[in-house]
Amino acid sequence: MNEKSQQLTNRIAVLRAERKMTQKDLAEKAGVSRQTILSLENKKYSPSLVLAFKIAKVLDVAITQVFQYKEESK
């Protein structure tokens, strides 16, 4: 809906499903609320760098494997 949400995409749901983890599982392991994971997957607000690192760590991949950034053409 807004422009900002489209410059950052993530594959959290996919990677999570591959590992057969629920949102709750991932949230607990990352030390955040389930709402936070859900919001990232769906509403896709931009997480903090620390949270991004934590999620990548739990999913056992590089941060860039989870999050892709496309700068917009101004």
End-to-end CA distance of the chain: 17
- Binding of a copy of itself at residue 29 (CB under 8 A)? no
59-65 CB contacts, 8 Å cutoff, 24+ apart: 59/12, 59/15, 59/16, 59/19, 59/26, 61/15, 65/11, 65/15
- Binding of a copy of itself at residue 52 (CB under 8 A)? yes
Instruction: State which of positions 26-65 bind DNA (CB under 7 A).
Output: 31-36, 38-42, 45-48, 50-51
- Binding of DNA at residue 10 (CB under 7 A)? no
Interface residues with a copy of itself (CB under 8 A) are 4, 7-8, 46-54, 57, 62-64, 67, 69, 71
